[in-house]
Structure 1
Amino acid sequence: MSGIKQATFGAGCFWGAEAVFRALPGVVETRVGYAVEVGDESLQIEVVQVDFDPRVLAYSSLIEHFWDLHDPTSVDRQGEHGGVKYRSAIFYHDAGQGEEARLAKVALQESGRLSKPVATVVVPLGRFELADEGHQRYLEKNGLSSCHI
């Protein structure tokens, strides 16, 4: 589809993040998997990759939903799940997304909404590896409405 863009977010457990993003008007498709940071092939982070129509849903709106669906102040942890794979991260696909994500992070930090520093990393997407089919739309397939974290 012409004009469709991609965004990739790490918000801890990817099941819940996928469900939230799937429900947004303007989201065309989602998939969960693992993002690899540029320069560190060993670092794989659980992410949801979102195909969206920017004529309907702005990238900045996706970022706002991302802030709300997890704790962006938590370092390599969401709820009871800890470790690098649960890192809060925005993986940008181009320089424009990178700049917008960095500015959004600064705005969130300066907003006073959070009592701790924003730990979210903003980095270019090195590679995306699709998780197996059992993880795709996991909550939907299992009759669950939300993730426990």
Structure 2
Amino acid sequence: MTDVRQDLVVEQATFGAGCFWGAEAAFRALPGVLDTRVGFARSARLAIQRLDASGRLGKPVATVILALGEFQLADEDQQRYLEKHGASACSI
């Protein structure tokens, strides 16, 4: 039996999101995504958000790319949560 993935180059990426269930469902729907796992991460350093005088996030808002520090995989009941519960989107 031939493994059809033998010549496939697989890369891994880690993304941060507020509600990881919705993000997980969106990534799973993308062509080429082989698997997703949700969990909790702590970056190696903290991102500083600048607030204006009213206490709102100042503009422009920038995406900060950080090295992944500690990562804890969520429990199995949290993996593919929306799919397991018949939901298509996160209501949070």
**TM-score where L is the length of structure 1:** 0.45
Matched, 1:6 2:9: no
Shifted more, 1-10 versus 12-21: the winner is: 1-10
Identity across the alignment (%):
65
- Deviation of the 1:120 alpha carbon: 3.0
**Root mean square deviation, CA, Å:** 2.0
- Residue 39 of structure 1 and its aligned partner are, at CA, apart by 4.9
Structure 2 residue aligned with 1:51: none
Which residue does 1:118 correspond to in 2?
A: 61
Letter in 1 for 2:21: W
> Does 1:20 pair with 2:59?
no
Supply the AA of the counterpart residue of 2:91.
H
Find the partner of 1:36 among 28, 39, 42.
42
Cα contact 2:45–2:66 (8 A) shared by 1: no
- Separation of aligned partners in 2, 1:6 and 1:125: 12
CA distance in 2, matches of 1:9, 1:21: 10
Q: Aligned to 1:16, what secondary structure does the other structure show?
A: helix
Partner in structure 2 of residue 97 of structure 1: none
- Name the SS of the counterpart of 2:31 in structure 1: coil
Runs (4+) of structure 1 exceeding 6 A deviation are none
In 2, distance between residues paired with 1:30 and 1:37?
19
Task: Report the alpha carbon displacement of residue 5 of structure 1 after superposing the two structures with TM.
Answer: 0.8
| Cα 1:148/1:119, change in 2 over 3 Å | farther
Q: How does 1:1-149 map to 2 (within 5 A)?
A: 3-39=9-45, 116-149=59-92
Structure 2, unaligned runs of 5 or more: 50-58
Larger Rg: 2
